């Protein structure tokens, strides 16, 4: 998957979300519960926990996106101050680059909640991706580079709506690559 996310527009990001949805569903959709929950060690997440983490992280953005699409969102004071929102967005995008595949510490808010993840997480992910695409279409005609939002994880970090969509896409690419790495381990269960 191409990773020129830092310059992508919303119309360019939408097909990437659709491709990621298909790729992740194909990658993990047929896994059984044992495979979804297998971990190489106690400190790493299972495939299921990675998918759940993506669902949790994406969901935290949806209320803001929905308000923006509806035209009912009032920017917070910190979102109206020019305190380097482009810097934070670019830093997050770069830190999640799937080509580097280094571990990135996640906010407590985004940690998987379940120790055992049910196979239905794949369906939840697919439905959420469909909603994300709808919201992206709803924002495509807006000047998303000028709409500033606050990170749902860290209240002092702001970035553009466009960067928020970029962050979600590169975050999903990061976990797609990380999951693929798990699936290639020789000790990954066959059933």
Domains and their CATH numbers in the chain: 5-183 (1.20.120.450)
- Residues belonging to the chain: 191
The predicted pLDDT at position 168 comes to: 96
The predicted pLDDT at position 158 comes to: 86
d(CA 184, CA 140): 37
d(CA 30, CA 21): 14
Cβ–Cβ < 8 Å for 145, 162: yes
Helices 161-184 and 85-95 meet at what angle, rounded to 10?
A: 10
For residue 129, give Cα distances in angstroms to 22, 31, 111, 156, 171.
10, 19, 19, 27, 13
Token pair for residue 118? Answer: 């049910």
d(CA 10, CA 169): 11
Token pair for residue 183? Answer: 């699936």
Predicted confidence pLDDT, tens digits, the chain (191 residues): 345 888 999 999 999 999 999 999 999 999 999 999 999 998 889 999 999 999 999 999 999 999 999 999 887 766 566 555 555 656 666 666 666 655 656 666 556 776 889 999 999 999 999 999 999 999 999 999 999 888 898 877 888 999 999 999 999 999 999 999 999 999 999 98
The predicted pLDDT at position 106 comes to: 62
């Amino acid at each position: 998957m191409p990773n020129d996310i830092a310059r992508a527009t919303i119309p360019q990001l939408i097909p990437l979300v659709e491709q990621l949805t298909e790729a992740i569903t194909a990658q993990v959709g047929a896994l059984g519960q044992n495979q979804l929950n297998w971990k190489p060690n106690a400190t790493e997440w299972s495939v299921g926990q990675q998918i759940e983490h993506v669902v949790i992280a994406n969901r935290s953005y949806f209320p803001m996106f929905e308000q923006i699409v509806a035209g009912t969102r009032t920017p917070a004071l910190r979102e109206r101050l020019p305190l380097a929102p482009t810097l934070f967005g670019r830093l997050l995008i770069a830190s999640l680059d799937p080509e580097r595949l280094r571990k990135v510490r996640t906010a407590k808010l985004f940690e998987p909640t379940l120790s055992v993840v049910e196979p239905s997480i794949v369906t939840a992910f697919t439905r959420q991706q469909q909603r994300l695409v709808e919201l992206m279409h709803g924002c495509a005609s807006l000047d998303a580079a000028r709409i500033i939002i606050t990170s749902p994880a860290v209240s002092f970090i702001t970035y553009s709506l466009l960067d928020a969509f970029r962050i979600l896409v590169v975050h999903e690419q990061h976990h797609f690559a990380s999951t693929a790495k798990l699936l290639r381990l020789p000790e990954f269960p066959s059933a």
